[in-house]
Amino acid sequence: MIHDLFTTILADLFNPYSLFLALTGVVLGLVFGALPGVSSTMALAVMLPFTYGMETPAAMTLMLAVFFSSVYAGSVSAILLNIPGTPGAMITLLDGHSMARKGKAAEAMAYALIASIFGGIIGWVILVLLAPVIANYALKFGSAEYAAVVFFGLALVAYASSGDTLRGLAAGAIGLIVGLVGRDKITDVPRFTFGTADLQGGIDIIPLAIGLFGIAEVLSLLTRSDDDASQVPESPARTWPKWTALRQEFPTALRGSVIGTFVGAIPAAGSAIAVALAYACEKRLSKKPETFGTGIPRGIVAPEAANNACVGGALIPMMTLGIPGDSITAVLIGVLLLHGLRPGPGLFENQPDLIITIYGALFVAILLTALVAGAIGIPVYRKILAIPQRLLTAGVLILCLLGAFSVRNAAIDVWVAIFFGAVGFSFIRLNIPVLPLAFGAVLGPLLEENLRRTLLIHRDISVFFDRPISCVLIMVSLAILVLPALFSLISKLRTVRQKTSSGV
Amino acid sequence: MSPTPNKDQQPDPRESLNDLIAGGLCLILSFGLAIYHTAQAGRLHEDFGRDPGPAFLPVILLIALGLSGVALTLRGGLGMWRRRPPEMAASLFSLWPAAAAIAILVTFLPLRALFGAATALIVIGAALALLAGRTETSRWPVTAATGALVGLGLFGVFRFGLSVPL
């Protein structure tokens, strides 16, 4: 199989048609992914009609190239504009945008690219070698485990985001409530819709993220004093980090990639949980956890490696079981179905050549993303920083309006973006972390669905502690939430006791 | 003799005020949504048998939000105790550019309905560029014109490049 795979990769690289399709996909993915509001799913959906007349391998080559490169490009708007294009890029902006504000935007994008390529390759290797094994492990996840994973993800975000924990918990609760707006999926009963038809379908995460991160950031820049260096400074000439600096980030990239692949393989868990887990893991292992969020490479490498490793991970349940892990793989399944193919175990038995072609196409997409983004993408993206502030501000705010509108071509999404822009700005002024709100909104529906399904099936909340995976996840989540506060309290009590005994 | 707390160890009055405001907002939000949620007619509060129902998680979250609000208010109140509140008027006045930007953004949909998306974006682009470039030395007609061009350019990208029906 390995021999066939290498032959396929070489054939793709030297076949002008395949190379043209992969290159087109990569370039389009890099453009679409960098535009706020234009998600990987939208990029794939836009490209879908072009695949109707293609052969299946050609269609998958184009779509996988768009998929992988747009996932990387989501980090560009997060780093340059503080607007995450996808939930997977929400953690990247913590250190990525902070690094850009220090005048190291190009270096931050280079770290993101290198970590993305590394994560993509690790995810690809695991996909090729271990897909059936991981698919079996992912199948062991029932509703109790899903609910526990979501709770775990929320605990990780509360831990990973900077700022006060109590304010973070309040923001998380607001986010979860926002996630519940709209018709309940099980009973079809509307909640928090205030009688408006527009809110019945719920609040989409992309306009919310555009408002919370993009509009709020620009509003914040506008209110800074005039002599303050409010614009992200242009990068110095150096883009690529030194080899010694890169070598130090290798363990981080490896851990992030493995986490990303395994979490990505859990259907519906998504990149949001993977990046939060990778970031929290690095923060926990670091000797200087307080530096996270201030613009350090590790804070970019961990989430970006995990985010792009999720691509390989998400393909595992899709290829082996025919289960779409998220909306992106649902579109990819659509491509296969359009060509009369049903992904799943049967595909491995009946179409082994196609499986190898898909694996090969993904690898070529990773290689071309590295080449195109490295040679053309970063130099072009960094030119954005040379635009005068008045035009950048106007451009970013208009981009936010159009990006929000283009998600569903709905006016309500523009209102949502503006409203959450004002909310995010208030949060910045009040020193409330914004990230828990965004993650709460992403994970709220998933938490509710699985929590209720578990209680519906098992009737008893003790089921979460009877099942080993969910029990471990809940225990670890509680430890993450409680232990830091407990240690801080003990340390304060110790200080007070020492001062009392020394008579100070 | 009990230790006198060092001035540095006392909470920053601005942070205490933030706690107080954040706590108050959380309480208003939780009470407001709780009243709306409990008063909602229809099937929301019906018994769904073994399913805890669509009201289950919202109630838990509203309680959690309310408790967070109480905790933040108490912490803020204790931090502000016998301390002079920080100056607010100047801080509030400094927010006018953000308020103006939101007001400009809010006009997008009404302008789009009246004159079309291209005109709306030209007007909004010019207004935002003037707002952002208010301290720059360039002449205002030039600033407005370049802002309008940005609006028109982005309209072109989304309308014709991405086929978004603006």
Over residues A302-353, the pLDDT tens digits come to 999 999 998 888 888 788 777 666 667 777 887 887 777 877 767 777 777 8
Query: Are A173 and B57 in contact (CB < 8 Å)?
Result: no
Same domain, B41 and B109: no
Q: What share of chain B is helix, strand, coil (3-state, %, to 5)?
A: 70, 0, 30
Same domain, B86 and B99: no
Same domain, B82 and B103: no
Q: To the nearest 10°, the Cα dihedral for A487, A491, A496, A501? A: 120
Same domain, B114 and B75: no
Q: Which of B57-61, B69-73, B86-90, B143-147 has the lowest mean pLDDT?
A: B86-90
Asked, for residue B35, whether it belongs to a domain, the answer is yes
Same domain, B60 and B99: no
Same domain, B108 and B48: no
Domain boundary among B90, B113, B141: B90
Asked, for residue B110, whether it belongs to a domain, the answer is yes
Same domain, B100 and B78: no
Q: Is A460 exposed, middle or buried (0-12, 13-18, 19+ CB in 10 A)?
A: exposed
Q: Which domain holds residue B105?
A: 95-156
Query: Are B51 and A456 in contact (CB < 8 Å)?
Result: yes
Residues in chain A with CB shorter than 8 Å from the CB of B1 are 503
Asked, for residue B5, whether it belongs to a domain, the answer is no
**Higher model confidence: residue A221 or residue A59?**
A59
Same domain, B38 and B83: yes
Asked, for residue B162, whether it belongs to a domain, the answer is no
Contact by Cβ (8 Å): A39, A24: no
State the Cα–Cα distance between residues B165 and B156, nearest whole angstrom: 11
**Is the pLDDT at B2 greater than 60, yes or no?**
no
**Is the pLDDT at A98 greater than 70, yes or no?**
yes
pTM for this one?
Answer: 0.75
pLDDT band at B107 (very low <50, low <70, confident <90, very high): very high
- pLDDT by residue (tens digit) across A364-376? 999 999 888 888 8
How close A475 gets to chain B, by Cα (Å)?
A: 20
Same domain, B107 and B126: yes
Q: What is the ipTM of this complex?
A: 0.89
Asked, for residue B1, whether it belongs to a domain, the answer is no
Task: Please state the domain count of chain B.
Answer: 2
Compute the Cα dihedral for A188, A193, A195, A200 and give only its sign: negative
Asked, for residue B7, whether it belongs to a domain, the answer is no
Residue (of A84, A140, A442, A370) closest to A265 by Cα position = A140
Domain boundary among B90, B120, B141: B90
Domain boundary among B90, B113, B130: B90
Query: Are B18 and A430 in contact (CB < 8 Å)?
Result: yes
Asked, for residue B50, whether it belongs to a domain, the answer is yes
Same domain, B126 and B146: yes
**Higher model confidence: residue A43 or residue B28?**
B28
Same domain, B82 and B107: no
Same domain, B63 and B120: no
Q: Tell me the residues of chain A between 28 and 67 that have a Cβ less than 8 Å away from chain B.
A: 38, 46
Residues in chain B with CB shorter than 8 Å from the CB of A155 are none
